[in-house]
Amino acid sequence: MTAVALKTLLNPRSVAVIGASEDQTKFGGRLYKTLLQHQYAGEVYPINPSRDSLFGLKTFASIQATPQAPDMVIMALPRDKVKAEIAACAERGARAGIIITSKFSDAGPEGQALEREVVEAAARHGMRLIGPNCLGLISPANKLVLCSSPALNVPSLIEAPIGFVSQSGALMGTLFDRSYGLGIGFSHCVSVGNQADLELCDFVEFLIEDDRTQVICSYVEGIKSPQRFMALARRARLAGKPWLMVKAGATADGSRAAYSHTASLAGDFAALKAICDRENIVMMDDPLDMLSLARAMVRYPARRVSSVAVITTSGGGGAISADQLSHAGIGLAQLGAATRAGLAEHYSEGQANNPIDIGGRRHEGSTDELGQVTAELVLADPATDLGLMVLTTAPDVPGLTRQLAEGAQRPAAAGKPTLYVMLPGRVAAPAREMLVAGGLPYVDTLAEAMAILRGWKAWSTYQAPEAPSRPAGMAAVPAPAGGTLGEAAAKALLAGVGIPVNQERIVRTADQAVDAAGALGFPLVLKVVSPDIAHKSDVGGVALNIDSAQALRHQLALMQSRVAQAAPDARIEGYSLQKQEHGELELIVGARRDPQFGAQVVVGAGGVLVELLKDVAILGAPVDPASARRAVEGLKVAPLLKPYRGRGALDIEAVVDAIVRLSWLAHDLESQGLDFEVEVNPLKLRLQGQGAVAVDARARIGAR
Amino acid sequence: MTAVALKTLLNPRSVAVIGASEDQTKFGGRLYKTLLQHQYAGEVYPINPSRDSLFGLKTFASIQATPQAPDMVIMALPRDKVKAEIAACAERGARAGIIITSKFSDAGPEGQALEREVVEAAARHGMRLIGPNCLGLISPANKLVLCSSPALNVPSLIEAPIGFVSQSGALMGTLFDRSYGLGIGFSHCVSVGNQADLELCDFVEFLIEDDRTQVICSYVEGIKSPQRFMALARRARLAGKPWLMVKAGATADGSRAAYSHTASLAGDFAALKAICDRENIVMMDDPLDMLSLARAMVRYPARRVSSVAVITTSGGGGAISADQLSHAGIGLAQLGAATRAGLAEHYSEGQANNPIDIGGRRHEGSTDELGQVTAELVLADPATDLGLMVLTTAPDVPGLTRQLAEGAQRPAAAGKPTLYVMLPGRVAAPAREMLVAGGLPYVDTLAEAMAILRGWKAWSTYQAPEAPSRPAGMAAVPAPAGGTLGEAAAKALLAGVGIPVNQERIVRTADQAVDAAGALGFPLVLKVVSPDIAHKSDVGGVALNIDSAQALRHQLALMQSRVAQAAPDARIEGYSLQKQEHGELELIVGARRDPQFGAQVVVGAGGVLVELLKDVAILGAPVDPASARRAVEGLKVAPLLKPYRGRGALDIEAVVDAIVRLSWLAHDLESQGLDFEVEVNPLKLRLQGQGAVAVDARARIGAR
């Protein structure tokens, strides 16, 4: 489906409503009335064999009776009638259809089979379908409403350049209703339902191309076509269109709920997040916050929002705002000396700084335009990216809101973004109306403001990845042996792509061990080698700090008896004697093939911290060094990479290099059609210039 | 101030309004009109020398001219007139006064001096003051409104058993306004302003005693009388009255804002949080969420809320709810087999489980009372503590809301709490009105619901501390030497209270070192001893893993030259040779005197993790073992206390014992009037039964 073709489908010249009626208790009645209500400019064909006319329009007994084939049909028939009707519509030449009816693939295998038959019946004549199990579409840009939700019972639609694609119909209706009250409009909203034919990616592609859409919002439960999704994510980014997403199933509980909803597997949240991070899709927790951010981005396109100046009518509001900004990782703008001097003309000592309490004026009534002056001064400061106006109950909330808005419009304020937080209830109602009329973004709680600012900051401080290039001298990886690779084989694979591994010798007897120790040098590590033992330390199969030949003999004997007791049936292939490497920090790095998104690499806190911190970044492979470095610097353990308690900085370039090389290994394995996991844990990281070394590793390589 | 006396002050028989007028642009005009509007039953004396009557009431030229001394006076005079007027009122016999005027101690030393004089003028005649720099009080329980906020311009007050004390006047007005729209009422709201005389604790004490208050809410910037605060926190807990608090200044930015607001130091947030945790004061981030939780607690007193069943009209809403509950640490109720069987009669396969999508019914129209049936079934399940009703746009939101409410009232549902999340806008307006009329708690966003549930869970799963008792055989600690204690002295202090420390010998020469090594046994640690070196590792003054006499001589020589280079002027008192102790986990434990709250102990992740994880619990001292154990089990590193990768569980009792002993040390030092800090880092923790050992320590003990 090309975006151009979809553009025609979403702007049909004629719509047939199957089962149209005047009865507002029926889906068909509500669909029909809502369509008529919003001045759709094309032809409407109500289909109803038992009435001559409905709301003054001539009806038709069947789809065959319409004067010409409709561009679009919509139906909410009982499930057992859908297939025949779709077949009839397709035969008649309808180009597209919306099926509201549920209980298809969302309700078990039988429904799934029926759904396939419905799609085939349509496809036979080139007819495309939205749904089933959807809520239709709302397209203010085309004055086209094909949706039965009571939320559409409004005097007029608000058109705004925000597109919304939703895998939940009820959420689409809910958000339309809530947004309407906040003055937020849309270009097009589509509920994709079971995505039996047209799916999320089709509509996102359309919105990327659509001139009347500037920001794309999406509610996602599962991605049907991951490769296409990745390509579209890149296209949206290159087109400069922000794409915001709420993804259900971020947690195990959420996944289960999403599964039972539309039978779409929620997929691996972390793997999807890696793609979103790479392509600057902003993931948000709450769909209403997503729409509020979209409104702000439409009003203030292409702005960097990283530091905030707070203007408030209450010191308490300022204090809580500052706390919440700090929690959200948003900086309070450090106002310059000139700004502070300007404020000091109007504010008491100690109050002429961010956050600014309008109530803290120097003299009662010192200026009638304090709000205006303050907003202008503060927004004019180069340190301020955005003015956060936190309004509490004050003698004249509407007047003050107007002053702030006027100050923000002064030339010195340079059109900087503002966001109003309207904490009062009734007292602020006229001010809210004024903000809606002026197209100024506002929210009702600080929590919403923080969610918006967090998303805005993430989007506006994004750094695009560079084109990844294979490290100099690194050849494409030849097809490796398949199966589960033990430590030695995994390390050989790593060494082959240029990742340093510690030296080892495989020994079987104490005498062999002592010989090998002479070559490796103390201190040493001893590990059991067995294809049957995955976690060596669990069976006492690891001994550290061996510092003499005597200790080596002793430890080997101890290990033999421990392992024999803990894993009597394991085939022991020998013992690995390894140089004990020193490192300042243990990391985990790995490569894997995600079933949806392909080759990815992982980096995080290693050793005992892996499970404790769950401090991991996932990146698409291959990756460029700059992106790898940003991922490492974003880890919770990143502070330990810097000089610390008398030791110097650690060799971050060595980790970056290991990640890049692993990512090319992943890329090559992916290209060979293989499935794989490669894990180094720990990678011991040393001081700057001293590199890193992989001291344990495992891998699994197989067919897909 | 006793609570009984305050009860009389807050229920005055007569009120004088200084500067009363009919002009609604003036404070005095608004104060006067608002007082008359809400049917205050006592005498009102408008004071205005230039009018005979105001709104039909006879005026008086001055406070001296009133027929009798008023119980209460209120004024918003210019600052320079306040002192004389307060003196006159006090002389006239007024019992209490409210000063709205600002620019006293909130605006520098001069204002502070004037504020003191005002308080003295009142105190001379036993008159008590609220403010200055406050917004007065709103007491629906007494039909008394002494507040000029436009938020009070409502047809009637809502009385409910929620008391609110606020250090920010604007927030009080704002929350009153917002709450009013949600149908949330109050018993008494007081804005305490600069707390020149009556302060937060006075009003909290009154609310604890007040029969018409069940839940206490507070907005706090700084605690004026910490000891009294602690005593009241305990009293509120023992009285079974939930106390909720929003504390500004949780972060550095928030602290600055709070400081510039009311000149009250924000204090140490963590130290305050320790007290709140101990006494079950619930700290919340947002004041509106605090009031919503108060409403829920009033409607459903003394409930345990730990697991939640979600009933929703949208699978998408259910998925997002499940995600957010998981993030918030609230469990989804695991419904029993009987409940699931009951649900399966009405819902499709895979849908008859929590979260429950009302849209997922088995047949269209399978029951007209699906909401009712579902709510009853789910709430009747013993696993369900609370029903979270997440309403999205649906054909009949009000009807469904009514059904859910009716189901929750059925006997089987056992009066379990419900919380409605009304996601739609206009479509849900009639349903919101119905909830307000029925006294059923609701919010408009999932984020608010999560904040409420998190606070409710914390409050309802609280475990009271046991009475702490001194460990058997531990004597009261005698007065220690003051000053900064080096490692050896600090360890001696610890050993004195029964905390195990590693063995050490102080040596000066290589020969002495080798001799000492014979007594201690290898492996050994070597550390420089100098009063001038606080961070030994920063100057190369620590060597680990010394395993032979030869290595010892070598390391000592190396260290001497390193330290000589890094700290040439340091006085070297010798070298400490210590047995190198093995441990599975490094913790930090410490004791300190908080300037506000006195003796406290600290436990957290130690070693390199201290600064990385900031994983610390603070407890008041002395502490009982059960509370210490809960604190340890609540740390982020707590999972490492359990069996892990082949090793057994760690000796948590050894940590608990160290904390308890440190807490008694802290208690004893506090009792001796000393200021102190004692820190063990790391405390090396071993396997169960093998104890823990302090391998480094320092302390500072001084006069207060």
Q: What is the pLDDT of residues A509-567, one digit of tens each?
A: 999 999 999 999 888 999 999 988 877 877 889 888 788 899 899 999 999 999 999 99
Q: What is the mean pLDDT of residues B399-409?
A: 95
Q: Give the CATH H-level superfamily of domain B304-460.
A: Succinyl-CoA synthetase domains (3.40.50.261)
R_g of chain B computed on alpha carbons: 32
Out of B178, B287, B353, whose CB is closest to A425?
B178
pLDDT value of residue A362: 60
User: What fold is seen in the domain B585-703?
Assistant: D-amino Acid Aminotransferase; Chain A, domain 1 (3.30.470)
On the 0-12 / 13-18 / 19+ scale of CB atoms within 10 A, B470 is middle
Contact: B181, A426; criterion CB under 8 Å: yes
Instruction: Give the separation between CA A326 and CA A354, rounded to whole angstroms.
Output: 13
Instruction: Give the separation between CA B385 and CA B534, rounded to whole angstroms.
Output: 53
Instruction: Give the separation between CA B350 and CA A60, rounded to whole angstroms.
Output: 40
pLDDT tens digits for range B527-566: 999 988 877 877 889 888 788 899 899 999 999 999 999 9
Q: What is the mean pLDDT of residues A333-360?
A: 89
Taking 90 as the threshold, does the pLDDT of residue A623 lie above it?
Answer: yes
CB B149 within 8 A of CB B176: yes
Taking 60 as the threshold, does the pLDDT of residue A686 lie above it?
Answer: yes
Q: How many separate helices (H) and strands (E) can be counted in chain A?
A: 22, 31
On the 0-12 / 13-18 / 19+ scale of CB atoms within 10 A, B569 is exposed
CA distances (Å), origin A332, targets A358, A474, A609, B557, B576: 17, 46, 33, 51, 47
Taking 50 as the threshold, does the pLDDT of residue B266 lie above it?
Answer: no
Amino acid occupying residue B67: P
Q: What is the mean pLDDT of residues A158-186?
A: 95
Share of chain A above pLDDT 90, in %: 79
Instruction: Give the separation between CA A451 and CA A456, rounded to whole angstroms.
Output: 9
Contact: A608, B359; criterion CB under 8 Å: no
Contact: B174, A637; criterion CB under 8 Å: no
Mean pLDDT over each residue of chain B, to the nearest integer: 92
Contact: A446, B252; criterion CB under 8 Å: no
pLDDT value of residue A252: 64
Amino acid occupying residue A574: G
Beta bridge partners of B442: B420
Q: Shortest Cα distance from B631 to chain A (angstroms)?
A: 17
Taking 60 as the threshold, does the pLDDT of residue B262 lie above it?
Answer: no
Q: Shortest Cα distance from B442 to chain A (angstroms)?
A: 15
**Closest to B288 measured CA to CA, from B388, B439, B181:** B181
**Closest to A309 measured CA to CA, from A231, A404, A169:** A404
Work out whether the CA dihedral A279, A285, A288, A289 comes out positive or negative. Answer: negative
Instruction: Give the separation between CA A627 and CA B22, rounded to whole angstroms.
Output: 67
pLDDT value of residue A676: 93
Out of A249, A321, A327, whose CB is closest to B319?
A249
Out of B171, B428, B644, whose CB is closest to A314?
B171
Residues of chain A neighbouring B646 (CB-CB closer than 8 A)? 535, 537-540
CA distances (Å), origin B222, targets A645, B101, B226, B278, B473: 35, 21, 9, 18, 40
Q: How far from chain centre, in Å, is Cα B206?
A: 20
Contact: B427, A151; criterion CB under 8 Å: yes
Taking 50 as the threshold, does the pLDDT of residue A163 lie above it?
Answer: yes
pLDDT value of residue A263: 35
Contact: B423, A393; criterion CB under 8 Å: no
Which residue of A100, A174, A562 to mutate against B (max B Cβ within 10 Å)? A174
pLDDT value of residue A607: 79
Taking 90 as the threshold, does the pLDDT of residue B249 lie above it?
Answer: no
CB A272 within 8 A of CB A223: yes
Instruction: Give the separation between CA A449 and CA A11, rounded to whole angstroms.
Output: 35
Q: Shortest Cα distance from B395 to chain A (angstroms)?
A: 6
CA torsion, points A403, A404, A407, A409, in degrees to nearest 10? Answer: -110
Residues of chain B neighbouring A261 (CB-CB closer than 8 A)? 315-316, 318-319, 357, 360
CB B202 within 8 A of CB B6: yes
Taking 80 as the threshold, does the pLDDT of residue B215 lie above it?
Answer: yes
Instruction: Name residues whose C-beta falls within 8 Å of residue A478's C-beta, 6 or more positions apart in sequence.
Output: none
pLDDT value of residue A691: 96
Q: Shortest Cα distance from B11 to chain A (angstroms)?
A: 26
Q: What is the mean pLDDT of residues A129-157?
A: 95
**pLDDT grade for A266, boundaries at 50, 70 and 90:** very low
Residues of chain B neighbouring A327 (CB-CB closer than 8 A)? 250-251, 285
Residues of chain B neighbouring A221 (CB-CB closer than 8 A)? 316, 319
Q: Shortest Cα distance from A537 to chain B (angstroms)?
A: 6
What would the CATH number be for the domain defined by A3-296?
Answer: 3.40.50.261
Contact: A246, B423; criterion CB under 8 Å: no
State in Å, rounded, how far the first CA of chain A is from the last one: 28
Taking 90 as the threshold, does the pLDDT of residue A160 lie above it?
Answer: yes
Q: Shortest Cα distance from B675 to chain A (angstroms)?
A: 27
Q: What b/e string do you get for A264-293 counting C-beta neighbours within 10 Å, with b at 16 or more?
A: bebbbbebbbbbbbbbbbbbbbbbbbbbbb
Interface size A-B, in CB pairs within 8 Å, comes to: 315
Residues of chain B neighbouring A251 (CB-CB closer than 8 A)? 322-323, 326-327
Contact: B427, A150; criterion CB under 8 Å: yes
Closest Cα in chain B to A24: B395
Pair of tokens at residue A292: 């509020």
Q: What is the mean pLDDT of residues A43-47?
A: 97
Among A97-106, A640-649, B89-98, B393-402, the range scoring the smallest mean pLDDT is A640-649
Out of B78, B249, B355, whose CB is closest to A319?
B249
CA torsion, points A655, A656, A660, A661, in degrees to nearest 10? Answer: -30
**pLDDT grade for B1, boundaries at 50, 70 and 90:** low
CB B34 within 8 A of CB B137: no
pLDDT tens digits for range A475-515: 999 988 888 888 889 999 999 999 999 999 999 999 999 99
Taking 50 as the threshold, does the pLDDT of residue B343 lie above it?
Answer: yes
Three-class SS of A598-647: EEEEEEEECCCHHHHHCCEEEEECCCCHHHHHHHHHCCCCHHHHCCECCE
Instruction: Give the separation between CA A381 and CA A349, rounded to whole angstroms.
Output: 20
DSSP A422-444: E--SGGGHHHHHHHHHHT--EES
CA distances (Å), origin A39, targets A34, A36, A66, A621, A692: 9, 6, 21, 50, 68
Q: What is the mean pLDDT of residues A185-193?
A: 97
Taking 50 as the threshold, does the pLDDT of residue B265 lie above it?
Answer: no
CB A407 within 8 A of CB A311: no
pLDDT value of residue B261: 43
Out of A108, A257, A446, whose CB is closest to B319?
A257
Question: Residues B210, B214, B219, CA angle at the centre, nearest 5°?
Answer: 90
Mean pLDDT over each residue of chain A, to the nearest integer: 92
Out of B151, B316, B535, whose CB is closest to A393?
B151
**Closest to A288 measured CA to CA, from B270, B449, B703:** B449
Q: How many CB atoms lie within 10 A of CB A300?
A: 17
Out of A151, A250, A451, whose CB is closest to B323?
A250
pLDDT value of residue B651: 97
Out of B174, B349, B393, whose CB is closest to A424?
B174
Residues of chain B neighbouring A538 (CB-CB closer than 8 A)? 645-646
B270: alpha, beta or left, given left = phi > 0 and alpha = psi -120 to 50? alpha
pLDDT tens digits for range A394-427: 888 999 999 999 999 999 999 999 999 999 999 9
Q: Shortest Cα distance from A166 to chain B (angstroms)?
A: 9
pLDDT value of residue B267: 46
Q: Shortest Cα distance from B354 to chain A (angstroms)?
A: 8
pLDDT value of residue A259: 47
What would the CATH number be for the domain defined by B503-579?
Answer: 3.30.1490.20
**pLDDT grade for A641, boundaries at 50, 70 and 90:** very high
pLDDT value of residue A683: 96
User: What fold is seen in the domain A308-460?
Assistant: Rossmann fold (3.40.50)
Closest Cα in chain B to A183: B425
Contact: A149, B393; criterion CB under 8 Å: yes
Closest Cα in chain B to A545: B545
Instruction: Give the separation between CA A444 and CA B177, rounded to whole angstroms.
Output: 13
Taking 70 as the threshold, does the pLDDT of residue A257 lie above it?
Answer: no
Which residue of B612, B635, B636, B637 to mutate against A (max A Cβ within 10 Å)? B612
Taking 50 as the threshold, does the pLDDT of residue A150 lie above it?
Answer: yes
Contact: B360, A260; criterion CB under 8 Å: yes
Contact: A103, B348; criterion CB under 8 Å: yes
Residues of chain A neighbouring B444 (CB-CB closer than 8 A)? 444
Q: How far from chain centre, in Å, is Cα B183?
A: 26
Taking 60 as the threshold, does the pLDDT of residue A218 lie above it?
Answer: yes
Closest Cα in chain B to A269: B323
Q: Where in chain A is the domain with CATH 3.30.1490.20?
A: 503-579
pLDDT value of residue B264: 39
Question: Residues B128, B130, B132, CA angle at the centre, nearest 5°?
Answer: 120
Which residue of B184, B320, B585, B610 to mutate against A (max A Cβ within 10 Å)? B320
Contact: B178, A332; criterion CB under 8 Å: no
Taking 60 as the threshold, does the pLDDT of residue B324 lie above it?
Answer: yes
Closest Cα in chain B to A180: B425
